[in-house]
């Protein structure tokens, strides 16, 4: 397989309603879903939360993808058709001039069904496509797509395989453990990728992927994960951070990463992952 023949599709859920790997939907019968959707809608569409997620999506997630050294990929953004109109319009505006983006506002559905349907609409055969996931408050190195394509091409003889970039800056932006942490976490969700003939990247718990598929990890550049109090993942106590092997990043760590991997960041993006405060400290 030649590198340039590898097709790549990224997927982001932006305030999407529907079954997936969120805790609220685990082990719930179909008849319970509408009540869960109503509860989730109130949380997902709170103005403060939407303002925050629109900002991180624009200045972190999407900016990291519009500044890739390899721009040959598609990026599916799946949102809810119940999103309030003003925020829907703003999301449309943010995505409008990005050639790679496929934006869809859908009724409640499983994310994997959405991926399958939209992929067919745009002529992508998932069996011959590498899929990656990225949340609306995380971002990747500017060389992410280039490196993913290289690994995929070298593994193409495997009908099913996975790729992870496990070096992470875990940026806790509020609360008692606020700070920037170095974290080595293979198959954390940010940037995790698979090729599979019938399943999507969301059909696996991300940490289970290397137990099911041939897998490779590339630790040679970091991605950025941000965490605030409104995430689905709860706040972490200091002892949990230590248990997971997180250690405080140094100023030199951050400076080097910005220079090599995140030079696309605006001042707003730097603030959203607390890099500005780190670099301002003497």
CATH code for the domain of 83? 3.90.550
Those residues whose C-beta lies under 8 Å from the C-beta of residue 106, and which sit 6 or more positions away, are: 16, 18, 78, 79, 80, 81, 114
Q: Are 104 and 79 in contact, with CB atoms under 8 Å apart?
A: yes
CA dihedral angle for residue 268, residue 84, residue 225, residue 130, rounded to 10 degrees:
-120
Those residues whose C-beta lies under 8 Å from the C-beta of residue 176, and which sit 6 or more positions away, are: 235, 238
Tokens of 155: 């593994």
Give the pLDDT score at 19: 67
| Beta sheet of 167-172, edge-to-edge order | 138-139, 223-227, 167-172, 179-184, 247-248
- Does residue 121 register a pLDDT over 60? yes
Segment 55-71 shows an average pLDDT of: 98
- 198-208 as b/e, with b when 16 or more CB fall inside 10 Å? ebbbbbbebee
- Does residue 230 register a pLDDT over 90? no
Using DSSP's 3-state secondary structure scheme, residue 181 falls into strand
Question: Range with the lowest mean pLDDT among 9-18, 33-42, 62-71, 223-232?
Answer: 223-232
Report pLDDT digits (tens) over 156-209. 999 999 999 999 999 998 888 889 999 999 999 999 999 999 999 999 999 999
Segment 7-19 shows an average pLDDT of: 92
Segment 104-109 shows an average pLDDT of: 94
The domain tally of the chain equals 1
Tokens of 114: 């959405």
Beta bridge partners of 186: none
Q: How many CA atoms within 13 Å lie on the side-chain side of 91?
A: 31
Beta bridge partners of 163: 193, 216
Give the pLDDT score at 4: 81
Question: Range with the lowest mean pLDDT among 10-19, 83-92, 97-106?
Answer: 10-19
85 burial level (CB within 10 Å; 0-12, 13-18, 19+): exposed
- Does residue 31 register a pLDDT over 90? no
Q: Are 201 and 133 in contact, with CB atoms under 8 Å apart?
A: yes
CA dihedral angle for residue 51, residue 133, residue 262, residue 144, rounded to 10 degrees:
-160
Token pair 């496509």: residue: 129
Pairing verdict, β 193-195 and 129-133: antiparallel
What residues make up the domain containing 264?
A: 3-280
Segment 105-121 shows an average pLDDT of: 95
Give the pLDDT score at 33: 73
What does pLDDT average to over the chain? 92
């Amino acid at each position: 397989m030649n590198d340039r023949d590898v097709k790549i599709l990224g997927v982001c859920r932006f305030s999407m309603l529907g079954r997936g790997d969120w805790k609220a939907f685990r082990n719930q019968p179909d008849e319970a879903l509408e009540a869960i959707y109503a509860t989730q809608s109130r949380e997902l569409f709170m103005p403060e939360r939407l303002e925050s997620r629109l900002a991180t999506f624009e200045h972190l997630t999407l900016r990291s993808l519009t500044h890739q050294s390899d721009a040959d990929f598609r990026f599916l953004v799946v949102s809810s058709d119940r999103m309030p109109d003003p925020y829907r319009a703003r999301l449309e505006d943010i995505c409008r001039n990005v050639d790679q983006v496929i934006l869809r506002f859908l009724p409640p559905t499983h994310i994997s069904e959405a991926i399958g349907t939209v992929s067919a609409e745009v002529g992508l055969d998932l069996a011959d496509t590498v899929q990656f996931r990225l949340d609306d408050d995380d971002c990747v190195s500017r060389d992410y797509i280039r490196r993913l394509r290289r690994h995929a091409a070298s593994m193409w003889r495997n009908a099913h395989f996975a790729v992870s970039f496990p070096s992470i800056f875990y940026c806790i932006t509020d609360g008692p453990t606020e700070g920037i942490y170095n974290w080595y976490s293979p198959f954390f969700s940010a940037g995790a990728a698979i090729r599979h003939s019938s399943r999507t990247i969301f059909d696996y718990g991300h940490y289970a992927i290397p137990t099911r598929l041939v897998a490779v990890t590339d630790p040679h550049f970091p991605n950025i994960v941000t965490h605030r109090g409104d995430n689905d993942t709860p706040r972490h106590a200091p002892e949990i951070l230590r248990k997971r092997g997180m250690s405080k990043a140094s100023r030199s760590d951050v400076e080097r990463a910005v220079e090599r991997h995140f030079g696309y960041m605006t001042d707003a993006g730097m603030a959203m992952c607390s890099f500005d405060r780190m670099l301002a400290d003497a």
